Structure 1
């Protein structure tokens, strides 16, 4: 960490984009699918740094056409889009809420937002930092004695996915359990135990690896420090102040979705897509022939993702949230903390086109936000603070048969068309 950033952190904790052609949506931050995205593990969207691209005049017809074309090519039953710029706002929907169904997708539909939930957890931790209840430099051992090498793992490293803690959602055991008993209720401590039982991926602070174990631990620490269940913390600190009336964090025993909602489907099984989300050639041929059908994951219990990915929202609420996350509104954080968070994303690999990641915040070129995926649902939310542009996309068959995150793929193409 450089001296200037460390000074900002200490100050805060001692008190009570890219040219459009360079954008690449990389699956490394999406959400509770693995890397590459399959089913239960976390991943994500666009990418790099250069001169700030210039926003084109908003062409709603062309952008809607691109959105619909890609949704169809990616085999999506349904998808939704929201774009907001200084030139105006528009939404678009495609298809139906389930394969072969007749209910059209609506912008009011609720979906599971996967790893976008991490931005809620990270924001609460930063608010607790402001209140002097925790420091970014604190070792996790201060709050959890059971974390191996916890005295050398900081809260900041966990927010940045640089702790070295292994990702429990990449395990065969979890994926097999999800296939065998999709309605199983998982306790957060069970998830932590799975992650901590695995060998560490690397020495803390030396590398990047997206691990949901980090965010489950942060959710438990937030509950301990705030003295409330995480759902109440999110409501009190985030949802109510921002008026996110269609956003919720379900109880671990609740697998329902508020009406109206879109169903969510995924291909094959969690175990079979653990190594790669892309279907093998024989199954791809059957998909194209219509003889291999996707799995309904709509009401599978999402408790296995908890503070890392079990949130529910709508496209409109996601737009409000990502704008607040990017500092446009809401005053979620004090100005100095907000500035520090926006500067926190750093490279996730040597690839200059890879997205950056910071304090539970992704940077995809000029956009700040996150992506999310649970089996059946994929979403992208991004805000460009320089151009004041908001982009949210979701799709309801994820991952696509070719392994792509459908919403992130659509977002990448739309961004290329929106900027010069």
Structure 2
């Protein structure tokens, strides 16, 4: 289930996502995890859209073996960083990952580690397409900001100017939708919605159906008074962009972003479509179970790892439910280009880029990410992350260091509850940028 920047809790804030409250105790969470995994295996196995795959142990052995695809001109840090990445992948049960780092001193180093298919053991490749989840929000947000730049709407316009029936629509502004301070309920947190996705992962959703799910719930807070990460905001923004331009979102992305920036392998696919080549996507928990699964540490995390069993193949999930908030597909090379363009404001005026990079705190937790206008400040990098069934992604550019970091993984959540791409990004930051 897609969430937001630096996922820790799951859906409330950017963490690929929520920094919300109400976690269960770690020990109780571990006991629950064992029951959930057994029940999930029975339920999902009976519905046929989700297919069990072999145990991960052979795959992690393959990931650690020689032969990972790497740049032949490796910088000095490559050897140790590769070892550290593989060690973290093994501990977090990540089948495969693509990592790309660019610095002025060493240029670009890209490596693919592990497998794209747990059944065959075929290695992941640096040119593979992966689903990137909430990084899609940066595309939707950029189109909306371009429309602001063109005078077709204002950041301070109320949502009701463009869309009727939105709770607090007369008081919520376009800025607050972009900034995740609208207070609108996140449809991705609705248990019934998640049950339907687990039951019918190939099912179609319209944006209007997603909004209906969200608007059945009360708002979290009055507009502008707090932060809560919500896919509902971005689905609304996508509909507004289509309404103002009379063009579908896929076309707007293509003409306004992908072509100007040179993103030749990036696409918008709110469906089961998945450009090749691509890996399989895996997850350990159902969407319903991930709503309340805790983030575990120490012995609890080790127990969860041991007891998690095999992940499930969710490659063919229909991302119509993610839409403008999470249905993009890309490659590590394209995201490296986009990270820099996004952070430096290539497609926006300097004035509007300054507005975009005005960050609000996502929680009162020290070191929590900051969130701007459909962009986040994560680990000191300006960009976004994403978490979608089968996949996680991290993308960012540090203007001070002129460094770019992109991580894509074919697992949406490790047994300990963490987001794989984000955890691998932390390894890179610790090894290369923490001094």
TM-score calculated relative to the size of structure 2: 0.81
TM-superposed CA distance for 1:44, in Å, is: 2.5
TM-superposed CA distance for 1:77, in Å, is: 0.9
Q: Which residue of 2 aligns with 1:12?
A: none
Give the length in aligned residue pairs.
375
TM-superposed CA distance for 1:176, in Å, is: 0.2
TM-superposed CA distance for 1:364, in Å, is: 1.9
TM-superposed CA distance for 1:284, in Å, is: 7.2
- Describe how 1:128-167 pairs up with structure 2 within 5 A: 128-167=147-186
- Describe how 1:79-118 pairs up with structure 2 within 5 A: 79-87=97-105, 88-118=107-137
Q: Which residue of 1 aligns with 2:234?
A: 215
Q: Which residue of 2 aligns with 1:71?
A: 89
* Offset from partner CA, 1:169-205 (integer Å, 9 cap, x none): 0011110000110000100110011111210000100
TM-superposed CA distance for 1:58, in Å, is: 5.9
TM-superposed CA distance for 1:338, in Å, is: 1.7
Compare 262-271 and 112-121 and name the one that shifted more: 262-271
TM-superposed CA distance for 1:373, in Å, is: 0.6
Q: Which residue of 1 aligns with 2:55?
A: none
TM-superposed CA distance for 1:417, in Å, is: 1.6
C-alpha spacing 1:277/1:92, structure 2 compared with 1 (3 Å)? farther
TM-superposed CA distance for 1:286, in Å, is: 7.8
Match of 1:335 among 344, 350, 356: 350
Question: Greater relative contact order (Cα 8 A, min sep 6): structure 1 or 2?
Answer: 1
Q: Which residue of 2 aligns with 1:60?
A: 78
TM-superposed CA distance for 1:60, in Å, is: 1.9
Q: Classify the secondary structure of the residue corresponding to 2:211.
A: helix
Distance in 2, Cα, partners of 1:41 & 1:212: 10
Distance in 1, Cα, partners of 2:365 & 2:178: 21
Q: Which residue of 2 aligns with 1:29?
A: 4
Q: Classify the secondary structure of the residue corresponding to 1:379.
A: strand
> What is the Cα-based RMSD across aligned positions, in Å?
2.5
Match of 1:400 among 408, 414, 418: 414
**Contact (CA 8 Å) 2:405, 2:425: kept in 1 or not?**
yes
Unpaired runs of 5+ in structure 1? Answer: 1-26, 48-56
TM-superposed CA distance for 1:395, in Å, is: 1.2
Matching of residue 412 in structure 1 with residue 412 in structure 2: no
- Describe how 1:132-281 pairs up with structure 2 within 5 A: 132-250=151-269, 252=270, 254-276=271-293
C-alpha spacing 1:201/1:154, structure 2 compared with 1 (3 Å)? same
Distance in 1, Cα, partners of 2:102 & 2:87: 21
TM-superposed CA distance for 1:98, in Å, is: 2.3
Distance in 2, Cα, partners of 1:282 & 1:347: 30
TM-superposed CA distance for 1:277, in Å, is: 5.5
TM-superposed CA distance for 1:37, in Å, is: 2.4
Matching of residue 319 in structure 1 with residue 336 in structure 2: yes
TM-superposed CA distance for 1:63, in Å, is: 1.7
C-alpha spacing 1:245/1:42, structure 2 compared with 1 (3 Å)? same
C-alpha spacing 1:286/1:383, structure 2 compared with 1 (3 Å)? closer
